[in-house]
Amino acid sequence: MSQPLVSILTPFKNVSDYIEQCLNSIINQNYNNWELIIIDDHSTDNSFDIVEDLAKSDSRIKLFKNDGDGIIKALQKAFKESSGDYVTRMDSDDIMAKNKLEVMVNQLKEYGKQHVALGLVQYFSAIGISNGYAKYEAWLNRLTEAGKNYSEIYKECVIASPCWMLHRTDLLACDAFNPNRYPEDYDLTFRFYEHGYKCIPSNQLLHYWRDYSTRTSRTHKHYAQNYFLDIKLHYFLKLDYNTSRPITIWGAGFKGKTIAKRLVEKGIAFHWICDNVKKIGKEIYGVKLQPFEDLKEIKNPQTIVTVANEIEQKQIVLYFDNLNMKSMVDYFFFC
């Protein structure tokens, strides 16, 4: 039986230090029936030349230049030029585990359509991994091992952008890379969630995620906090908000204020609670802040929690438990 074709979509820009190692990890895959659709997003170093040389010796590498500008246009171009039964992304500065494609294809063969194949990820860096990235890696892998990625989707992107695979028809059904919304990987994850695609549990390390100071997620404006809050609120209002129930915001820091401002702009009324005695009783954006104990007096609320402190988050979960409130139904952590 012939192997299904896997399309690997990879935009790149100014990654001459890393691109060859990335491509070699694809070329050396156990699974051989793949095509790499790799898009140069206006590189000014010699990245294009490196890829072009490798493409000359391997016809599976198909090199194009971006018709537009930026990662979304590059992904749209890559998908348009692809023809695989299965589709996956790859970052041009990362490394695939040797069995990555093989494992993901086998997952999709076993589970079928409307499933997302995943794998564990591991950060690596020449200067060491920060505590923040180490925590994100552990959190993401914990969710992936259980296949419960959507259970905390409003906290952060719960699917690593270069470590998923799904049927081409499923990607088309959720509009692939067409929405012009940033961050594009988080938006796509929300659309997997919206369409009810199930995450396949995985305990295999399949992707090595490179971290360095000029990495896009560290430097690009589209990865700024306001973009993440906007996309979270957009999908919360679309997918999980029950318009018959009042919204409550818990927390009055930067994130709480940003969410409050967006709701005011949208004309959506809300309650606002916190445990900061200096803020309780004050009005911000025309809404008076109440003590968090008032939550039990609000009839059937849905609460957006914007408190980032991990110890306080655990206390907040216990408080919701005492009120018989359920995560992703009655309350949603936005950080």
Of 203, 223, 243, the last residue of a domain is 223
Q: Is the pTM of this model over 0.85?
A: yes
Q: What is the pLDDT along the chain (335 residues), one digit of tens a residue?
A: 579 999 999 999 999 999 999 999 999 999 999 999 999 999 999 999 999 999 999 999 999 999 999 999 999 999 999 999 999 999 999 999 999 999 999 999 999 999 999 999 999 998 888 888 999 999 999 999 999 999 999 999 999 999 999 999 999 999 999 999 999 999 999 999 999 999 999 999 999 999 976 655 444 454 456 789 999 999 999 999 999 999 999 999 999 999 999 999 999 999 999 999 999 999 999 999 999 999 999 999 999 999 999 999 999 999 999 999 999 999 999 99
One domain, residues 218 and 238 = no
Classify residue 279: in a domain, yes or no: yes
Tokens of 43: 């590189």
Classify residue 318: in a domain, yes or no: yes
One domain, residues 123 and 45 = yes
Residue 128 confidence (pLDDT)? 84
One domain, residues 69 and 79 = yes
Q: What is the CATH number of the domain that holds 326?
A: 3.40.50.720
Sign of the alpha-carbon torsion through 250, 252, 258, 264: positive
Lay out the sheet containing 302-305: strands in order across: 290-291, 270-274, 247-250, 302-305, 331-333
One domain, residues 21 and 129 = yes
One domain, residues 240 and 131 = no
Classify residue 233: in a domain, yes or no: yes
Of 194, 223, 252, the last residue of a domain is 223
Classify residue 1: in a domain, yes or no: no
Of 191, 223, 255, the last residue of a domain is 223
Structural domain count, the chain: 2
Contact 10, 37 (CB under 8 A): yes
Residue 219 confidence (pLDDT)? 46
One domain, residues 218 and 72 = yes
For helices 254-266 and 225-235, the axis angle rounded to 10 degrees is: 50
Q: Which residues pair with 274 in a beta bridge?
A: 291
Locate all alpha helices (DSSP H) within the chain, ordered by sequence: 19-27, 47-57, 71-81, 100-111, 131-146, 168-173, 184-194, 216-219, 225-235, 254-266, 310-322
Range of the domain at 78: 6-223
Per-state percent for the chain, helix, strand, coil, to nearest 5:
40, 20, 40
Name the DSSP letter for residue 327: B
Residue 241 confidence (pLDDT)? 98
Residue 223 confidence (pLDDT)? 47
Q: What is the CATH number of the domain that holds 77?
A: 3.90.550.10
One domain, residues 232 and 214 = no
Q: Cis omega before residue 183 (within 30°)? A: yes
Instruction: Count how many residues are written for the chain.
Output: 335
pLDDT digits (tens, 9 = 90+) for 37-69: 999 999 999 999 999 999 999 999 999 999 999
**Cα distance between the two ends of the chain:** 46
Contact 35, 26 (CB under 8 A): no
One domain, residues 84 and 123 = yes
One domain, residues 219 and 242 = no
